[in-house]
């Protein structure tokens, strides 16, 4: 029984890594931003953070799918959640670094980051999904729901 469990675990880890790696490689090369916003327009923009944004978008969708599978009690989905979270965080912060290298000022705050252009006055505040994904994934890995349910049961009424 333990051998079957270990084989199932190894297969889930391998499949999770394969899905994340293959989707990331494909996403980097496919111009998703053109399909989502510029499709049909004669002009297009190319920014240096687009490949990283593509990888982040695809891994965010995989991460959300993993959370849905986990909510349906598919325990092996936790490996997909962790693998896609790590990939999303890497791509997300790579895109933030690419913004900084392109001449924008970037400040990371708790649960947010601020981008300022040297050409245009003002600041743009963004929810830092890298931090949000890390926190939610950590809570899921620690089986936060089980901890909360256990606390509720032990609470006297």
Confidence of residue 145 (pLDDT cuts 50, 70, 90): low
The model carries a pTM of 0.83
Question: Which tokens sit at 126?
Answer: 């963004």
Give the chain's largest Cα–Cα span: 66
Confidence of residue 140 (pLDDT cuts 50, 70, 90): confident
CB atoms within 10 A of CB 141: 12
**8 Å CB contact between 44 and 38:** yes
Question: Which tokens sit at 122?
Answer: 């003002």
Instruction: Pick the closest to residue 34 from 24, 22, 46, 23 (CA basis).
Output: 46
pLDDT in tens, 27-66: 888 877 777 666 655 566 677 888 999 999 999 999 999 9
For residues 27 and 150, the model is more confident at 27
């Amino acid at each position: 029984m333990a051998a079957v469990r270990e084989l199932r675990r190894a297969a889930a880890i391998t499949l999770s890594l394969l899905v994340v790696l293959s989707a990331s490689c494909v996403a980097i090369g496919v111009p998703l931003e053109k399909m989502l916003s510029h499709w049909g327009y004669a002009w297009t923009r190319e920014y240096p953070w687009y490949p990283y944004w593509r990888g982040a978008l695809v891994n965010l969708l995989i991460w959300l799918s993993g959370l849905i599978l986990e909510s349906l009690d598919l325990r092996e989905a936790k490996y997909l959640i962790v693998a896609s979270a790590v990939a999303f965080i890497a791509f997300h912060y790579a895109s933030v670094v690419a913004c900084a290298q392109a001449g924008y000022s970037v400040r990371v705050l708790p649960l947010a980051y601020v981008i300022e252009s040297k050409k245009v006055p003002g600041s743009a505040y963004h929810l830092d999904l890298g931090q949000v994904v890390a926190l939610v994934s950590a809570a899921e890995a620690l089986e936060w729901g089980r901890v909360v349910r256990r606390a509720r049961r032990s609470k006297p009424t």
